Chain A
């Protein structure tokens, strides 16, 4: 993003932590995501069917939760510190329901050399937490970050 100071691989400290603002997941989010992804599974779209299910109501697509947390964390990580995604390992631990408010807690858990000399790899451990303090999703994301030019 232009205008923001560039953060290089060397500027990111191992163990650095970030906490995002919260966001309430709405019915509109589910509807837009269903349309965008084409995933109209009853889990996310059929309120009547879901009344009789384990969850009792519609739940957000797991990948909607993943997408929202990505946007939330981008708001608190300094400019370009988190480069393009290289890899994700992710667990969906509990449902996100309409009206739930989620935020993300992340920590820099590893710094490694990248495949190219000018790029490093950072790993963020992330936890998506709801308004009751329950971890609903968690995982690790690897990001390519440019090294400071010599």
Chain B
């Protein structure tokens, strides 16, 4: 990684359990729905937000919390519930909590509970994600 600027990162050892992290908000627009529709080749009704958009956007929102980025090696899987529809004009944010971590030979597994809330603080989607995270390189 010659030339790459030194960047602070969070490794498996740094992950704290049971500390909720809240992201900034993002307003869902017609543009999001149109871009997603052209990406997935799915037509979308005016004003509607496809079910998968809040889930997809929560991964990007997760990068905007006030802590260095986690070194995720792989997204292993998730379980998710869609509780309420979202519409164009809604503003979503996400709250994540690491509920368990398990050390493996290569890296460690982190289990995260995540809820997506709207501007009325209603949980619109929620679930549990399993991530493979790098361990701190020995130096």
Which residues of chain A have a CB within 8 Å of any CB of chain B? 1, 23, 29, 32-33, 35-41, 43, 49, 54, 61-64, 66-68, 70-72, 74-75, 84-92, 139
Question: For chain B, what secondary structure do more than half of its interface residues adopt (helix, strand, loop), or is it mixed?
Answer: mixed
**Complex partner residue of B85 from A29, A64, A75, A84, CB under 8 angstroms:** A84
- Are the C-beta atoms of A88 and B56 separated by less than 8 Å? no
- Are the C-beta atoms of A63 and B82 separated by less than 8 Å? no
Q: List residues of B (49-96) whose CB comes within 8 Å of A's CBs.
A: 51-52, 55-57, 59-64, 69, 72-82, 85
Does B42 make an interface contact (CB < 8 A)?
yes
> Is the interface on chain B under 10, 10 to 19, 20 to 34, or 35 or more residues?
35 or more
A139 to B36, CA, bound (A): 21
| Interfacial chain B residues near A70, Cβ < 8 Å | 40, 42, 52
Can you give 21 A-B contacts (C-beta < 8 A)? Answer: A29-B39, A36-B39, A37-B59, A38-B57, A38-B60, A43-B72, A54-B73, A61-B59, A63-B59, A64-B39, A66-B52, A70-B42, A85-B52, A86-B81, A86-B82, A87-B82, A88-B78, A90-B79, A91-B76, A92-B74, A92-B77
A33 to B79, CA, bound (A): 21
Which residues of chain B have a CB within 8 Å of any CB of chain A? 1, 26, 32, 35-36, 38-43, 51-52, 55-57, 59-64, 69, 72-82, 85, 127
**Complex partner residue of B82 from A29, A62, A67, A84, CB under 8 angstroms:** A84
- Are the C-beta atoms of A40 and B56 separated by less than 8 Å? no
Q: Which residue of A lies closest to B4 (CB)?
A: A49
A54 to B61, CA, bound (A): 26
| Interfacial chain B residues near A61, Cβ < 8 Å | 56, 59, 75
| A84 touching B51 in the complex, CB below 8 Å, given contacts A36-B56, A38-B63 | yes
| A91 touching B77 in the complex, CB below 8 Å, given contacts A37-B57, A37-B59, A38-B60 | yes
**Complex partner residue of B1 from A41, A49, A90, CB under 8 angstroms:** A49
